[in-house]
Amino acid sequence: MRGVRSVDEVGANERAASLAKRSIKKSSKLWALDLSIRCMDLTTLEGSDTPGKIAALSAKAIRPQPGDASIPSVAALCVYPARVAEARERLQGSGVKVASVATAFPSGQSFISIKLAETKDAVTAGADEIDMVIDRAAFLSGDYQKVYDEIVAVKEACGPAHLKVILEAGELGTYDAVRRASILAMAAGADFIKTSTGKVQPAATLPVSLVMMEAIRDFMRETGRPVGFKAAGGIRTSKQAIAYLVVLYETLGADWMTPDRFRLGASTLLNDVLMQIEKERSGVYQSADYFTID
Amino acid sequence: MAITKRQAAELAKQTFEYAPAPEAIDHVRIQPRYGLFIGGKMVEPHSKKRFPTINPATEQKLSEVAEADAVDVGRAVSAAGTAFTSWSRMAPSRRARYLFRISRLIQERARELAVVETMDGGKPIKESRDVDVPLSAAHFFYYAGWADKLEWAFPNRRPRPLGVAGQVIPWNFPLLMLAWKIAPALAAGNTVVLKPAETTPLSALLFAEICQQAELPAGVVNIITGAGKTGSLLVSHPGVKKVAFTGSTEVGKLIQRALAGSGKRLTLELGGKAANIVFEDAPLDQAVEGIVNGIYFNQGHVCCAGSRLLVQESIAKPLLEKLKQRLSTLRLGDPLDKNTDIGAINSKAQLEKIQRLVDSGIEEGAEIYQPECKLPERGYWFPPTVFTNVSQSYRIAREEIFGPVLSVLTFRTPAEAVEKANNTPYGLSAGVWTDKGSRILWMAERMRAGVVWANTFNRFDPTSPFGGYKESGYGREGGVHGLLPYLELV
- Per-residue confidence at A294, pLDDT binned at 50, 70, 90? confident
pLDDT at A85 over 50: yes
Using a CB-CB distance cutoff of 8 angstroms, which residues of chain A are in contact with residue B290? 11
The Cα of A144 is separated from the nearest Cα of chain B by a number of Å equal to 22
| pLDDT tens-digit series, residues B414-434 | 999 999 999 999 999 999 999
Residue B3 has pLDDT above 80, yes or no: no
Compute the distance between CA of residue A233 and CA of residue A262 in angstroms, rounded to an integer. 15
pLDDT band at B167 (very low <50, low <70, confident <90, very high): very high
> Is the pLDDT reported for residue B241 higher than 70?
yes
Query: What is the C-alpha separation between B51 and B371, in angstroms, rounded?
Result: 37
Q: Please give the helix or strand (H or E) that residue B289 lies within, else none.
A: helix B284-296
Sequence-distant (6+) residues with CB within 8 A of B151 are B92, B158, B159
Examine the pLDDT at A57 and tell me if it is beyond 90: yes
Residue B11 has pLDDT above 70, yes or no: no
Residue whose C-alpha is closest to residue A14's, from B93, B130, B180: B130
Judged by CB atoms closer than 8 Å, whether chains meet at A6 and B281 is answered as yes
- Is the pLDDT score of A105 beyond 80? yes
What average pLDDT score do residues A181-208 get?
97
For residue B363, give how far its alpha carbon lies from the nearest alpha carbon of chain A (Å): 33
More confident residue, B461 or B3: B461
Longest CA pairwise span in chain B (Å)? 82
Digit-coded pLDDT (tens) for B196-220: 999 999 999 999 999 999 999 999 9
pLDDT band at residue B1 under the 50/70/90 scheme: very low
- For the ranges B7-16, B188-197, B253-262, B439-448, the lowest mean pLDDT is seen at B7-16
Q: What pairing do the DSSP bridges indicate for beta strands B41-43 and A228-232?
A: unpaired
Per-residue pLDDT, B7 = 58
Q: What is the pLDDT of residue B370?
A: 97
Report whether pLDDT(A1) > 80.
Answer: no
Preferred mutation among B1, B7, B10, B11 to probe A, highest tally of A CBs within 10 A: B11
Mean pLDDT, residues A271-281 taken together: 96
- Angle, vertex CA B386, rays to CA B380 and CA B387, nearest 5: 120
pTM above 0.90, yes or no: yes
**What is the Cα–Cα distance from B110 to B91, expressed in whole angstroms?**
29
Separation between Cα atoms, residue B205 and residue B223, nearest integer Å: 7
Among candidate residues A57, A271, A43, the one with its CA nearest the CA of residue A166: A43
B300-311: average pLDDT: 98
CB contact under 8 A, A38 and B12: yes
The answer to whether the CB atoms of A24 and B1 lie below 8 A apart is no
Q: Which of A41, A131, A191, A272 is catalytic?
A: A131
For chain A, say whether B339 makes contact (Cβ under 8 Å): yes
Cβ–Cβ < 8 Å for A206, A195: no
Taking every pair of Cα atoms in chain A, the longest distance, rounded to a whole number of angstroms, is 55
Q: Are A216 and A195 in contact (CB under 8 A)?
A: no
CA atoms within 13 A on the CB side of B119: 22
Q: Single out the residue of B276, B365, B371 nearest to residue B321, CA to CA.
A: B371
Which of B11, B126, B329 lies closest to A21 in CB terms? Answer: B126
Mean pLDDT along residues B441-457: 97
Q: Is the pLDDT of residue A279 over 90?
A: yes
What is the ipTM score, two decimals?
0.94
Q: What is the mean pLDDT of residues B178-184?
A: 98
- The pLDDT of residue B10 is 63
Residue A260 has pLDDT above 90, yes or no: yes
Pairing of strands B265-269, B473-474: antiparallel
The confidence score (pLDDT) of residue B9 equals: 58
Helix axes B110-121, B133-147, angle to 10 degrees: 120
Of A48-52, B5-9, B200-204, the poorest mean pLDDT is in B5-9
**Average pLDDT estimate for B252-277:** 97
pLDDT above 70: percentage of residues in chain A: 99
- Provide the pairing of β-strand B159-161 with A129-133: unpaired
In a 13 Å sphere around the CA of A132, the CA atoms on its Cβ side amount to 36
Average pLDDT over residues B183-189: 98
What was the pLDDT predicted at B15? 81
Task: Give B88's pLDDT tier (boundaries 50, 70, 90).
Answer: very high
Q: Is B303 a catalytic residue?
A: yes
Cβ proximity of B292 and B305 under 8 Å:
no
- Give the closest residue to B194 by CA, choosing from B212, B213, B210, B175: B175
**Alpha carbon distance B467, B474 (integer Å):** 6
Residue A289: half-sphere exposure toward Cβ, Cα within 13 Å: 1
A·B CB contacts under 8 A: 89
Q: How many CB atoms lie within 10 A of CB B235?
A: 24
Residues sharing a CB contact under 8 Å with residue A40, sequence separation 6 or more, in sequence order: A74, A75, A76, A263, A264, A265, A266, A269, A270
A23 and B21 within 8 Å at the Cβ level: the answer is yes
Residue A194 annotated to the active site: yes
* pLDDT band (50, 70, 90) for residue B320: very high
- The residue among B4, B285, B291 with the most chain A CBs within 10 A of its CB, best to mutate, is B285
Identify the pLDDT of residue A3: 76
- Which of B303, B304, B400, B477 is flagged as catalytic? B303
Using a CB-CB cut-off of 8 Å, the residues of chain A touching B5 are 69-70
Percent of residues, chain A, with pLDDT higher than 90 = 98
For B375-397, what is the mean pLDDT? 97
pLDDT category, B2, cuts 50, 70, 90? Answer: very low
Residue type, B86: S
Name the nearest CA neighbour of A148 among A132, A135, A159, A157.
Answer: A135
Residues 6+ apart with CB under 8 A from A196: A166, A167, A168, A169, A170, A202, A203, A204, A232, A233, A234
- The residue among B412, B434, B405, B418 whose CA lies nearest residue B287 is B434
What mean pLDDT, rounded, does chain B reach? 96
Query: Which residues of A have a CB under 8 Å from any CB of B?
Result: 5-8, 10-12, 14-15, 21-32, 34, 38, 68-72, 214, 221, 245, 249-250, 254, 257, 281-282
- Assign B64 to helix, strand or coil: strand
Q: Name the percent of chain B lying above pLDDT 70.
A: 97
B93-151 pLDDT, tens digit each: 999 999 999 999 999 999 999 999 999 999 999 999 999 999 999 999 999 999 999 99
